[in-house]
């Protein structure tokens, strides 16, 4: 088919709609809660995107707009984010980690009413000092479970010292358990390699320096 | 008497020196290479260079149809924020920049489509037009506008033209980032509802990640023909999962539901921990089926660039995962993901609706040609 004929078919379209089902363009009656966990040696970062469907957007907006002025203030947004995070449980090796809100961004009602606006919650939790070896992180989100669907995933760690292992979730993805291993310190490895390089370079200089080199002359080894 | 000893000492010193030189050079290199990305930029062929020349010519022909004001509206700097300013959402829910098809003359539209056709394969271009036609079907099924609850305020403001979101052929946009060139990097950004095609051109290399082909309706009739814009993606996915043995399926099938794309718009640079079955655990026939599924996305781009990308993906096959969630009966609801060192593909029906499919195609090492563009 030529570009022109495709253009024509684009232009004349609109007459053959017999099989077009009633359309649903966007999320309707569900509250999508998508979480990404980023695991570091010192902290766990949470990126939580909350997207209310068209049908639940007014209800979600009402949860946040507590003074009913049809505007979301910074204080209301923060209060909602803290409330949401109270429904999140995070632990490492069965030790509960307190979660700290970093930032929250709430879209306009207009976007939410179209089923496309996402509330972005960013949070972090400090890790207790962890030894190298095997560990386990558990995450559970029960916020507004009556109307929500969930996604939760662990990001590949930026720190090469951390290697993720097995992951387990419940069917609805309320929760995620990630096994991971902390291996040798990469920065230590880099430092070590640099030191070895320096020592070797020093030895090279030593072997090439005439005064010292003399000490390696065969004659000096003779009795 | 000392000569043999002396010679041996001298040889030892020489050997030690050589070893030290080698170690001093190799040690930092080895450690450094472990810290860097494992996949270098692919080498490009002369045929790919010819494709770039063709795409550049089509881009210049399109630009020649524009007035100075239109050029200003439809072109951006290569490194501008426009590069990541794409979405699957319709106008009204997301305001695109660039030139709107509904505001173009027929000559400009044809030149724009000729540019898209030059950058894509024949099948890829057909897929794109099938997606666009599907949106026109959606528009007509909904009387042209939709979105929001009854009585809800329209988008207004920067979004536009009032009264909810808008669908249809007029609501696709094209933008060029950078100056079309056979040498310097530039980019074609084309999209609208359920479509985002980002083609980065760097010399002879053409890159089409990230891109988002989607479909709603997933099946419609046009001129007496049944069209399924993403029908092969569906059917080939089911063919693959059903070609696996029971033990393989057990590894591939996730024990949880996946209701949406994990790495959709806005998830640039994110790499999730892969899951599912490794392609190395598949036999040659099953690997062939997997590559056939992958080609449905990779093959949207022109044949020459797609062939190079497929070769790269094939080389990385032992480190590529296939994961499945949902029914294994074709016609049932299912999500799947293919993830390798230079590839992420997701196929995700929306909200349990088989008539509404979102997909995403990414290369975590080379989205927007990152591997090819010198910072």
* DSSP conformation letters of A68-85: -SS---HHHHHHHHHHHH
pLDDT at A27 over 90: no
**Percent of chain A residues past pLDDT 90, beyond the cut:** 56
Selecting from A27, A36, A200 the residue whose C-beta is nearest the C-beta of B351 gives A27
Q: What pLDDT, on a 0 to 100 scale, did the predictor assign at position A11?
A: 41
Q: What pLDDT, on a 0 to 100 scale, did the predictor assign at position A196?
A: 61
Local structure of B312: helix, strand or coil: helix
pLDDT at B289 over 70: yes
Which tokens belong to B158?
């920067």
Selecting from B31, B136, B256 the residue whose C-beta is nearest the C-beta of A171 gives B256
Q: Are strands A31-39 and A148-154 parallel, antiparallel or unpaired?
A: parallel
Q: What is the arithmetic mean of pLDDT over B212-226?
A: 95
- Whether residue A156 lies within 8 A of chain B, CB to CB, comes out as yes
Buried b (16+ CB within 10 A) or exposed e, B224-256: eeebbbbbbbbebbbebbebbeeebeebbbbeb
Q: What is the arithmetic mean of pLDDT over B74-93?
A: 92
Q: What pLDDT, on a 0 to 100 scale, did the predictor assign at position A138?
A: 98
In angstroms, the separation between the Cα of residue A170 and the nearest Cα of chain B is 6
Residues B5-15: pLDDT tens digits? 333 444 444 44
Q: What is the arithmetic mean of pLDDT over B247-265?
A: 96
Q: Are strands B277-278 and B321-326 parallel, antiparallel or unpaired?
A: antiparallel
Highest mean pLDDT among A121-130, A152-161, A182-191: A152-161
Q: What is the arithmetic mean of pLDDT over A117-137?
A: 92
Selecting from B16, B129, B136 the residue whose C-beta is nearest the C-beta of A14 gives B136
Q: Phi-psi region for residue B221, left (φ > 0), alpha (ψ -120 to 50) or beta?
A: beta
Give all strands (DSSP E) within A142-174, no chain letters: 148-154, 162-169
pLDDT at A4 over 80: no
In angstroms, the separation between the Cα of residue B89 and the nearest Cα of chain A is 8
Selecting from B6, B9, B89 the residue whose C-beta is nearest the C-beta of A116 gives B89
Which residues of B are less than 8 Å from A17 in CB distance?
137, 140-141, 220-221
Q: What pLDDT, on a 0 to 100 scale, did the predictor assign at position B352?
A: 83
Task: Please give the Cα distance from A169 to A160 (Å, whole number).
Answer: 24
Q: What pLDDT, on a 0 to 100 scale, did the predictor assign at position B27?
A: 40
Mean pLDDT of chain A: 79
Q: What pLDDT, on a 0 to 100 scale, did the predictor assign at position A32?
A: 94
Strands, sheet with A162-169, edge to edge from the N-terminal-most edge strand: A95-96, A88-92, A133-141, A175-182, A162-169
Task: Please give the Cα distance from B133 to A5 (Å, whole number).
Answer: 13
Q: What is the arithmetic mean of pLDDT over B124-146?
A: 86
Are A23 and B146 in contact (CB < 8 Å)?
yes
Which of A8, A9, A11, A17 to mutate to test binding with chain B, by most B CBs within 10 Å of its CB?
A17
Interface of A with B in 177-216 (CB under 8 A): 178, 186, 189-190, 193-194, 196-197, 200-201, 203-204, 207-208, 216
CA distances from A41 to A125, A170, A186 (A): 11, 26, 12
pLDDT at B308 over 90: yes
Model confidence band, residue B290 (pLDDT cutoffs 50, 70, 90): very high
Q: How many CB atoms lie within 10 A of CB B73?
A: 16
pLDDT at B226 over 70: yes
Q: What is the arithmetic mean of pLDDT over A198-202?
A: 64
Q: How many CB atoms lie within 10 A of CB A75?
A: 10
Model-level pTM? 0.81
Task: Name the residue in chain A with its Cα closest to that of B142.
Answer: A23
Model confidence band, residue B40 (pLDDT cutoffs 50, 70, 90): low
Are A9 and B136 in contact (CB < 8 Å)?
no
Selecting from B153, B216, B224 the residue whose C-beta is nearest the C-beta of A23 gives B216
Mean pLDDT of chain B: 86
Task: Name the residue in chain B with its Cα closest to that of A113.
Answer: B148
Are A9 and B28 in contact (CB < 8 Å)?
no
- Whether residue A158 lies within 8 A of chain B, CB to CB, comes out as no
Q: What pLDDT, on a 0 to 100 scale, did the predictor assign at position A91?
A: 97
In angstroms, the separation between the Cα of residue A148 and the nearest Cα of chain B is 11
**B70, B175 Cβ separation under 8 angstroms:** no
Model confidence band, residue B46 (pLDDT cutoffs 50, 70, 90): confident
pLDDT at A187 over 60: no
Q: What pLDDT, on a 0 to 100 scale, did the predictor assign at position B142?
A: 64
Q: What pLDDT, on a 0 to 100 scale, did the predictor assign at position A204?
A: 57
Q: What pLDDT, on a 0 to 100 scale, did the predictor assign at position B45?
A: 80
Residues A155-169: pLDDT tens digits? 999 999 999 999 999
- Whether residue A129 lies within 8 A of chain B, CB to CB, comes out as no
Task: Please give the Cα distance from B19 to B15 (Å, whole number).
Answer: 6
B128 burial (CB, 10 Å; 0-12 / 13-18 / 19+) is: buried
Are A153 and B221 in contact (CB < 8 Å)?
no
Task: Name the residue in chain A with its Cα closest to that of B326.
Answer: A171
Task: Please give the Cα distance from B127 to B227 (Å, whole number).
Answer: 10
Own/partner contacts of A78-81, CB < 8 Å, gap of 24 or more, are A78/A104, A80/A104, A80/A106, A80/A119, A81/A119, A81/A121, A81/A123
Residues B138-193: pLDDT tens digits? 998 865 444 433 333 333 232 333 357 889 999 999 999 999 999 999 999 999 99
Are B273 and A153 in contact (CB < 8 Å)?
yes
pLDDT at A8 over 50: no
The owner of tokens 């099924």 is: B141
Interface of A with B in 132-151 (CB under 8 A): 149-151
Task: Name the residue in chain A with its Cα closest to that of B146.
Answer: A25
Q: What is the arithmetic mean of pLDDT over A125-141?
A: 92
pLDDT at A108 over 80: yes
Nearest to B172 by CA among B102, B239, B106: B102
Residues B96-118: pLDDT tens digits? 999 999 999 999 999 999 999 99
């Amino acid at each position: 088919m030529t570009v022109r004929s495709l253009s024509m078919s684009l232009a004349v379209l609109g007459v053959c709609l017999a099989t077009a089902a009633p359309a649903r363009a966007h999320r309707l009656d569900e509250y999508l809660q998508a979480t990404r966990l980023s695991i570091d040696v010192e902290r766990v970062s949470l990126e939580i995107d909350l997207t209310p469907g068209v049908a639940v957007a007014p209800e979600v907006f009402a949860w946040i707009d507590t003074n009913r002025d049809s505007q979301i203030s910074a204080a209301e947004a923060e209060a909602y984010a803290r409330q949401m995070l109270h429904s999140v449980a995070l632990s490492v090796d069965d030790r509960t980690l307190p979660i700290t809100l970093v930032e929250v961004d709430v879209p306009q009602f207009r976007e939410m009413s179209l089923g496309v606006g996402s509330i972005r919650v960013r949070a972090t939790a400090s890790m207790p000092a962890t030894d190298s070896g095997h560990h386990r992180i558990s995450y559970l989100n029960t916020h507004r479970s009556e109307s929500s669907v969930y996604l939760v995933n662990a990001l590949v760690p930026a720190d090469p010292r951390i290697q993720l292992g097995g992951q387990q979730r419940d069917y609805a993805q309320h929760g995620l358990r990630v096994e991971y291993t902390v291996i040798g310190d990469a920065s230590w490895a880099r430092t070590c390699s640099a030191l070895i390089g320096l020592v070797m370079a020093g030895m090279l200089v030593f072997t090439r320096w005439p005064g010292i080199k003399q000490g390696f002359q065969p004659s000096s080894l003779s009795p | 008497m000392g000569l043999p000893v002396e010679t041996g000492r001298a040889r030892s010193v020489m050997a030690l020196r050589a070893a030290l030189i080698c170690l001093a050079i190799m040690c930092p290199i080895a450690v450094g290479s472990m810290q860097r990305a494992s996949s270098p930029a692919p080498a490009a062929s002369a045929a790919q260079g010819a494709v770039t020349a063709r795409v550049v010519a089509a881009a210049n022909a399109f630009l020649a149809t524009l007035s100075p004001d239109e050029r200003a509206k439809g072109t951006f700097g290569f490194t501008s924020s426009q590069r990541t300013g794409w979405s699957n959402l319709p106008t009204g829910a997301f305001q695109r920049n660039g030139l709107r098809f509904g505001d173009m003359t027929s000559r400009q539209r044809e030149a724009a489509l000729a540019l898209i056709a030059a950058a894509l394969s024949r099948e890829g271009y057909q897929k794109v037009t099938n997606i666009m036609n599907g949106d026109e079907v959606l528009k007509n099924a909904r009387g042209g506008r939709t979105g929001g609850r009854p009585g809800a305020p329209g988008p207004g403001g920067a979004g536009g033209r009032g009264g909810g979101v808008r669908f249809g052929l007029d609501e696709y946009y094209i933008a060029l980032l950078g100056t079309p060139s056979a040498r310097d990097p530039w980019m074609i950004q084309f999209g609208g509802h359920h479509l985002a095609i980002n083609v980065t051109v760097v010399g002879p290399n053409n890159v089409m990640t990230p891109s988002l082909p989607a479909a709603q309706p997933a099946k419609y009739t046009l001129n007496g023909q049944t069209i399924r814009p993403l029908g092969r993606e569906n059917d080939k996915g089911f063919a693959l999962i059903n070609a696996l043995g029971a033990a393989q399926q057990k590894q591939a099938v996730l024990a949880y539901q996946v209701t949406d794309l994990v790495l959709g718009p806005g998830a640039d640079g994110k790499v999730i921990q892969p899951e599912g079955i490794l392609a190395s655990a598949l036999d040659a026939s099953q690997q062939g089926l997997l590559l056939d599924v992958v080609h449905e996305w990779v093959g949207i781009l022109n044949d020459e660039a797609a062939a190079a990308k497929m070769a790269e993906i094939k080389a990385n096959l032992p480190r590529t995962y296939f994961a499945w969630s949902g029914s294994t009966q074709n016609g049932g609801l299912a999500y799947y993901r293919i993830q390798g060192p230079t590839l992420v593909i997701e196929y995700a029906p929306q909200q349990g609706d088989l008539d509404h499919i979102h997909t995403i195609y990414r290369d975590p090492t080379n989205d927007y040609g990152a591997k090819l563009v010198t910072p």
